[in-house]
């Protein structure tokens, strides 16, 4: 509770004490945007952690060995993630549903265990220190990027491209017969998602000092997925709200310290069962009514009619 009290009574102190938490929330919001884009186009892909790794490692390795300026390193990291996203997308995007999800999990783990642990330039299991890390300065580009990217993606979902994505999500067959080039639109979403994830990964190394393979496992991707599910995917705000809520949660429930994951689990189950559209979704604050509730209501109404 102290957490909230301080937020309102002493916002400056709050900011100073929680700058890294806020930065992490920003990173997670970017990742939420990344998964939102593929979700919006009807694809359940879980490759985000892999693309983060590409962005992060590229940036750090460039900072270590090249005299290039940091913004360029970050840009290259994001674009390389996009390029690899394109290559991975070629074979993978033919798959649907759970199969697509599993294939992308395979990509993440094969990249982490098969590539990162085997290429000496990545520092293998020991990881790499980011020489240009600046935990408190690193927050600035994050805080700038989140609103800009949110706005861009919001706009994007209202363009022809966004409408095509929505059409594919609702009914792929119908979209296809309406002349929408489904594979191309899916690929565009996948690559945009990869670039945003790579960008988030690159920025994250800036506040976290370090990259190592444990950061980029399936666990991370699943965490990103929960942002989208808990927040809701009707529009881009949903996953961001999910990211903010779930990243701050460990701080909020610190008094349950030991059983934090139990609280986490319960929240996931409650949301998915009682509010499947996510925190931000249609229907205001309504929750899905349990069955006994509707039954009771019908009986009431029946009684009133008599």
Partner 1 sequence: MTQQVLNAIFIGSIYALFAVGYTLVFGVLDVLNLAHSAVFMLGAVITYSLVVLHGLPFLPAAIIAILVCGLLGLLIEFVALRPLRRRDAPPIAALISTIGLALIFVAIVEQATQGTLFSWLWQDGANSVRFPAGTVPNPTYHVGGLTIEGTKLGILGLSVVLMLVLGYVMRFTQVGRALRAVAENRRAATLLGINVDRIFASTLFVSSALGGLAGLLFGLSLSDISPYIGRDQVELKGLAVIVLGGMGSIPGAVLGGYLLGLIEVFAFVRFGSNVEAGVAFAALFLVLVLRPQGLFGARLRERL
Partner 2 sequence: MRTVARGIAIALAVALTACGGASSTGTTTSNSYQGKTIQLGAILSLTGAGGVYGPSSQKGMDLAVEKINNSGGVNGAKIALDTKDDASDRPQSAQVAQTLIQQGQLLALLGPTLSNSAVAVHPLAESFKIPILAVSTTGIHIVPDCNFPKTDPCKYVFRDSLGEESAIPANIKVYSDMKHPKTGVLLVANDDKFSKDGGTIVQNTVGQYNIQLLDTVQFSKATADFATPVTKAVQKNPDVIFITSLGNIPARIMGEARKQGFKGDFLGGNGFNTAAVSKAAGADGKGAQSGSAWYINNTFTSNAGFVQAYRAKYSSDPDQFAAQGYAAILILADAAKRANLTFSDTPGDRTKLRDAMESVNIDTPLGRFQFTSTHDVKQTIWVIQMDGSGGFTLVKSVTPS
- The site for partner 1 (CB under 8 A) is made up of 44, 91-92, 94-95, 97-99, 101-103, 105-110, 112-115, 117-118, 218, 222, 225-226, 229, 258-262, 264-269, 272-273, 276, 288, 291
DSSP state of 129: E
Q: Which of 170, 171, 261, 300 binds partner 2 (CB under 8 A)?
A: 261
User: Considering the complex, what minimum distance in angstroms separates the CB of residue 108 from partner 2?
Assistant: 15
Q: Does 133 bind partner 2 (CB under 8 A)?
A: yes
Please check whether residue 274 is in contact with residue 68, taking contact to mean a CB–CB distance below 8 angstroms. no
Cβ closest to partner 1, residue 136 vs residue 272: 272
d(CA 246, CA 217): 18
# chain residues binding partner 2, by CB under 8 A: 35
By CB neighbour count within 10 A (0-12 exposed, 13-18 middle, 19+ buried), where does 34 fall? buried
Q: x/- binding map, residues 24-63, to partner 2, per CB under 8 A?
A: x---------------------------------------
Stretch of 30-38, 74-82, 117-125, 173-181 contacting partner 2, by CB under 8 A: 117-125
Q: Does 290 bind partner 2 (CB under 8 A)?
A: no
The answer for 180, left when phi > 0, alpha when psi is -120 to 50, beta otherwise, is beta
Pick the closest to residue 278 from 292, 265, 288, 290 (CA basis): 288
Q: Which does 210 bind (CB under 5 to 8 A by kind): partner 1, partner 2, none?
A: partner 2
Q: Which does 21 bind (CB under 5 to 8 A by kind): partner 2, partner 1, none?
A: partner 2
Q: Which of 113, 184, 270, 273 binds partner 2 (CB under 8 A)?
A: 113
Residues 6 or more apart whose Cβ sits within 8 Å of residue 251: 3, 18, 21
Cβ closest to partner 2, residue 53 vs residue 189: 53
Cβ closest to partner 1, residue 144 vs residue 222: 222
Structure tokens at 25: 């929330």
Structure tokens at 182: 């489904």
Stretch of 80-88, 149-157, 256-264, 293-301 contacting partner 2, by CB under 8 A: 256-264
Q: What is the CA radius of gyration of the chain?
A: 21
Q: Which of 87, 148, 173, 257 binds partner 2 (CB under 8 A)?
A: 257
d(CA 30, CA 268): 21
211 sits in which H/E element: strand 210-211
Measure CA of the first residue to CA of the last residue in the chain; give whole Å. Answer: 50
Q: Does 281 bind partner 2 (CB under 8 A)?
A: no
Q: Which does 95 bind (CB under 5 to 8 A by kind): partner 2, partner 1, none?
A: partner 1
Pick the closest to residue 38 from 219, 163, 148, 186 (CA basis): 186
By CB neighbour count within 10 A (0-12 exposed, 13-18 middle, 19+ buried), where does 282 fall? exposed
Per CB under 8 A, residues contacting partner 2 are 13, 16-21, 24, 64, 113, 117, 124-127, 129, 131, 133, 135-136, 207-210, 212-215, 250-251, 254, 257-258, 260-261
């Amino acid at each position: 509770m102290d957490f909230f009290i301080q937020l309102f009574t002493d916002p400056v102190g709050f900011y100073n004490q929680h700058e890294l938490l806020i930065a992490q929330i920003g990173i997670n919001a970017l990742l939420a945007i990344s998964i939102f884009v593929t979700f919006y186009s009807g694809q359940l892909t879980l490759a985000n952690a892999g693309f983060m790794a590409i962005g992060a490692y590229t940036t750090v390795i460039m900072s270590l060995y090249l005299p290039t300026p940091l913004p360029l390193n970050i840009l290259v990291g994001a674009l390389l993630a996009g390029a690899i996203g394109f290559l991975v997308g070629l074979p993978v995007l033919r798959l649907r549903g759970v199969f697509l999800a599993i294939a992308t999990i395979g990509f993440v783990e094969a990249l982490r265990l098969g590539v990162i642990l085997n290429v000496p330039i990545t520092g293998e299991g020991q990881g790499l220190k980011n020489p240009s890390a600046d935990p408190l300065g690193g927050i600035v580009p994050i805080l700038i990027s989140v609103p800009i990217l949110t706005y861009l993606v919001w706009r994007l979902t209202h363009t022809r491209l966004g409408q095509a994505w929505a059409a594919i999500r609702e009914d792929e067959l119908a979209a296809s017969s309406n002349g929408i080039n489904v594979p191309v639109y899916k690929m565009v979403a996948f690559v945009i998602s990869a670039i945003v994830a790579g960008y988030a990964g690159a920025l994250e190394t800036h506040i976290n000092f370090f990259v190592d393979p444990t950061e980029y496992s399936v666990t991370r991707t699943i965490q990103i997925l929960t942002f989208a599910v808990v927040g809701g995917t009707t529009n881009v705000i949903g996953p961001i709200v999910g990211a903010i809520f779930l990243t701050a949660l460990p701080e909020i429930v610190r008094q349950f310290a030991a059983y934090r994951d139990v609280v986490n689990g319960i929240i996931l189950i409650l949301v998915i069962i009682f509010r499947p559209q996510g925190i931000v979704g249609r229907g205001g604050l309504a929750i899905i009514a349990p069955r006994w509730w509707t039954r009771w209501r019908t009986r009431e109404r029946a009684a009133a009619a008599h």
